[in-house]
Each structure stands twice: as C-alpha cells, then as structure tokens.
Amino acid sequence: MLATFAHEWPQKLLDELAQFGRYGLQFNQPLAPYTSFRIGGPAEMLLTLHRIENLINALDLLHRHRAPFLILGGGSNVLIRDEGVAGLVLLNQCREVRWPEGAPPLVRAESGAPLAQLARASLGRGLAGLEWAVSVPGTVGGAVVGNAGAHGQCTADSLRRIRLWRNGEVVEMAAHELAFDYRTSMLKRRLAGSSRPWVVLEALFQLQPDPTREAQKRAEAYIAHRRRTQPVNKSAGSIFKNPPGDYAGRLIEAAGLKGLTIGGACVSKKHANFIINLGDATAADVLALMTRIQEEVLRRFGVRLEPEIQII
Ligand SMILES: Cc1cc2nc3c(=O)[nH]c(=O)nc-3n(C[C@H](O)[C@H](O)[C@H](O)COP(=O)(O)OP(=O)(O)OC[C@H]3O[C@@H](n4cnc5c(N)ncnc54)[C@H](O)[C@@H]3O)c2cc1C
C-alpha cells in the first residue's frame, strides 16, 4: 500500500509548482476519472505534467522541499481509496515518442506515453517486440515499474534502458539493473510505503524488423483473445497475482465466486480475476469483495491470493 504523508506546503512552493502544471495546481480534484476503475476519492492537489522538463523541474522542487508525492500514469493498476489522497498527485501525461534512425530499430518513449499506442505505432512501422501490449492499458512508466506483460512476453524482454529521476538527479539505468521479475521490478519494490518514489522519465526499447508482418497477425489474435476472455466494463485488470503454478482466476472460479457482488463491485462472469465496476462501485466495495475472495480461496484451497493492484 502506498501512502502520502501530512506535509507543510508553503504558498511559495505551491505557486512555483503551479507553473509546471498544464492546468496549474488543481485542488480537491476527483481522481476517479484518471483511473481505469473510475473509482476513488479526490487528490488534495493535482499537478498534470505534459512536458518532461516540467516533470523534472517539479520533482526537483519537491525534492528540495522534502515534499511527498504520488505519481500516477494511466491509473490502470491502482485502486484509490474513497478518502482520496492527502497531498500531491503528479499525473504523468508526457507522451513524446521518438524513433532513432539506424539498426537495430529502437524507440524512445516518454513515460506518460500510452503503452498500447506505442505497440500499435511499432507495428505500423513494421516492427515486432511490443505486439503483446496492443491492448494493455496504462503508460510506459507504469509498464516499466510493474513489468507489465501478456501472452508470454513482458516489458523487460524489449526494454534496453530507462532515464530515471532519483532523489533529485536524472540517471540512466540499464534494464538489467532494474531486477525485473513477474509483474515487478526494483522500482515497484521500492514504492511500497514510499512517499518519495523514483520516477521513470523515459524508456528505450529495442524492436526487431518484421518484414513478413507476423507480429501484426499475433497482435490481432491477442486482441481477439482479449475480447473473448475479458470484460469490457471498468476494471483494473487482474486483481490478484497468479500464485506459483496456478491461476488466480481459476481458483476464484472454482470457489464459485463468479458474479459475487458487493455494492457496485462484482466478480466478472467472463474472467473471475477481474472485479468490475457496475457503475457506482466504491473503493470500499472493491476492498470488501477482495477480502471475501481471499478468505474463500484460502478456506477452500489453502492458497493466499496477493493483490496485483496497488491500493492507494
Ligand atoms: C482491462 C485491463 C487489462 C489489463 N491487462 C494487463 C495485462 O495483460 N498485463 C499487465 O501486465 N497488466 C495489465 N493490466 C494492468 C495495467 O494495465 C498495467 O499494470 C499497467 O502497466 C499500469 O500502468 P499505469 O500507467 O496505468 O500505472 P498506474 O496504475 O498509473 O500506476 C501503477 C504504479 O506505478 C507507479 N507509476 C506509474 N508511473 C510511474 C512512473 N513514470 N515512474 C514511477 N512510478 C510510476 C504508480 O505510482 C503506481 O504505484 C490491465 C489493466 C486493465 C484495466
């Protein structure tokens, strides 16, 4: 679980921060619209960044004031509590993508770029390597932190380097330094409980030429598979991690929990590891449903399901 902590916010700091935001500094701003679940209370303060220099400047300023913050990308792997976030949320909308000339083919994407759009753009250029991500929501930064993956591939497979903001300095890190594992990285492990995270600024991916357009065909198959197997309702994707050697969805289904509803939150009938927002779900509904699922799966199968989403 992530937390932001009470902090003194001098007016001068707020005024300076406001200069970096696309819409200035917004107060008491609902966060639900910035999440794929469409759930969650307001941010005490929200700063939307769409230029990487502004993101770095804001981070440096926060660092100098030892001020805590939370960084949000596409909001597709989080559940924000109904109380909202006390403090500052940085919303990363830095989306520039560059395609350096030469071989091997590379793409350099700012961390707020939507991953699925990057995957589609790569395919459009006849390049393979990110096709697994054609329908994975969220940003490049979120994908790096959580080593997003699907269909047997993951972010770590094609990532070469990142540019990272870390305690007031910008550093380059090679992919192998990020200690990737199943849906995690050293950055994600650091996040737990931290109110001053390290921030992915940019990622460099290495792709492969795909003259026969096999990757495009794979992408189409992945999209069709998702349409068949996943709900289209508002959700945060898989709620629980797959336990070693098994699938969370299989266990939840076998426990007879498909369709179980608490308030506006429901275990999807299409994919049991998805909790869907029927329209008016609160974070409390989702948390109660998660607890029910964990208790039932533990009781029936002796397996402790761990949340895949981050509860903020
Ligand atoms: C319908 C659906 C399907 C999904 N399918 C998949 C799937 O197939 N595979 C998969 O892996 N995931 C899947 N997900 C989950 C989600 O798409 C991924 O976890 C995604 O990578 C999250 O990115 P984000 O930008 O939305 O991160 P957010 O939800 O915004 O943030 C997640 C965490 O990363 C941190 N963070 C975000 N950006 C940065 C940054 N630039 N620097 C440092 N920290 C940062 C945040 O503080 C937070 O702790 C799915 C989600 C949905 C809703």
Regarding the beta carbon of 116 and ligand 1, being less than 6 Å apart is answered: no
Query: Given a cut of 50, is residue 1 above it in pLDDT?
Result: no
Question: Which residues span the domain enclosing 119?
Answer: 97-215
Q: Say whether the peptide bond before residue 33 is cis (omega within 30 degrees of 0).
A: no
Q: Name which of 56, 45, 53 is nearest 7 in CA terms.
A: 45
In a domain, 223, yes or no: no
pLDDT above 70 as % of the chain: 97
Would you please indicate which residues are annotated as catalytic (active-site) residues? Answer: 183, 238, 308
pLDDT at position 193 over 70: no
- Check if 310 has its Cβ closer than 6 Å to any atom of ligand 1: yes
Within a domain: residue 188?
A: yes
Question: Do 131 and 211 sit in the same domain of this protein?
Answer: yes
Cα dist. 111→59, 106, 153 in Å? Answer: 14, 15, 20
Let me know whether 21 and 111 are in one domain: no
Question: What CATH number does the domain containing 150 carry?
Answer: 3.30.465.10
pLDDT band at 107 (very low <50, low <70, confident <90, very high): very high
How many domains does one find in the chain? 3
Do 131 and 198 reside in the same domain of the chain? Answer: yes
Of all atoms in ligand 1, which is nearest to the CA of residue 143? 21
Q: Which of 136, 222, 233 to mutate to test the pocket of ligand 1 (most atoms within 8 A of CB)?
A: 136
Are 133 and 190 found together in one domain?
yes
Q: What local confidence, expressed as pLDDT, does residue 79 receive?
A: 98
Mutate to test the pocket of ligand 1, among 70, 88, 134, 145 (most ligand atoms within 8 A of CB): 145
* Same domain assignment for residues 138 and 42: no
Asked whether 312 and 85 are in contact (CB, 8 A), the reply is yes
Among the ranges given (106-110, 126-130, 193-197, 285-289), the one the predictor scored with the smallest mean pLDDT: 193-197
Domain boundary among 215, 248, 265: 215
- Is 166 a member of any domain? yes
259 CA to centre of ligand 1 in angstroms: 25
pLDDT the model gives residue 6: 56
Regarding whether 192 and 113 lie in a shared domain, the answer is yes
Residue 282 sits in a domain whose CATH number is 3.90.78.10
Closest CA to 263 of 294, 291, 286: 286
> In the prediction, which pLDDT does 3 show?
46
Domain membership flag for residue 226: no
Per-residue pLDDT tens digits for 168-190? 999 999 999 999 999 999 999 88
- The conformation of residue 50, written as its DSSP 8-state character, comes to -
CA distance 214 to 42: 44
Which among 175, 140, 173 is positioned nearest to 157, based on CA atoms?
A: 175
Residues 6+ apart with CB under 8 A from 144: 111, 155, 159, 162, 178, 185, 187, 200, 203
Residues 163 and 250 in one domain: no
The secondary structure of residue 116, as a DSSP letter, is: H
- The reply to whether 87 and 136 lie within a common domain is no
As a whole number of angstroms, the distance between CA 157 and CA 203 comes to 13
Please indicate whether residue 146, judged by its CB atom, sits closer than 6 Å to ligand 1: yes
pLDDT-derived band at 2 (thresholds 50, 70, 90) equals very low
**Is the shortest distance between the CB of 76 and ligand 1 below 6 Å?**
yes
Q: Whose CA is nearest to atom 11 of ligand 1?
A: 148
| Distance between Cα 126 and ligand 1 center (Å) | 26
- Mean pLDDT, to the nearest integer, of 204-225? 96
| Amino acid (one-letter) located at 132 | W
**Per-residue model confidence as pLDDT tens digits over 21-32:** 999 999 999 999
Whether 135 maps to a domain, the answer reads yes
- Please check whether residues 70 and 151 belong to one and the same domain: no
Which of 37, 57, 92 represents a domain boundary (last residue)?
A: 92
**Maximum separation of any 2 CA atoms in the chain, in Å:** 59
Which whole number is the average pLDDT over 66-94? 96
- Of 183, 215, 247, the residue at which a domain comes to its end is 215
Q: What predicted TM-score, i.e. pTM, was given to this entire model? A: 0.95
CATH of residue 77's domain is 3.30.43.10
Asked if residue 4 is part of any domain, the answer here is no
Q: Is residue 220 part of a domain?
A: no
3-state secondary structure labels for all residues of 181-235:
ECCECHHHHHHCCCCCCCEEEEEEEECEECCCCHHHHHHHHHHHHHHHHCCCCEE
Place 102 in a pLDDT band, splitting at 50, 70 and 90.
confident
Q: Please tell me if the CB atom of residue 138 comes closer than 6 angstroms to any atom of ligand 1.
A: yes
**Are 106 and 87 part of one and the same domain?**
no
How many Å lie between the centroid of ligand 1 and the Cα of residue 129? Answer: 19
**Is the separation of the CB atoms in 248 and 239 below 8 Å?**
yes
Unique residue bearing structure tokens 């003259």: 211
Indicate which residue's Cα is closest to atom 33 of ligand 1: 142
Q: What would the pLDDT profile of 146-166 be if each residue is shown by its tens digit? A: 999 999 999 999 999 999 999
| 75 in contact with ligand 1, CB cutoff 6 A | yes
- In this predicted model, what pLDDT tens digit does every residue of 251-300 receive, in sequence order? 999 999 999 999 999 999 999 999 999 999 999 999 999 999 999 999 99
194 and 144: one domain?
A: yes
Number of other CB atoms surrounding residue 3 within 10 Å? 14
Measured distance CA(121)–CA(131) in Å, rounded: 10
Do 127 and 106 lie in a common domain? yes
Contact present, 82 and 282 (Cβ < 8 Å): yes
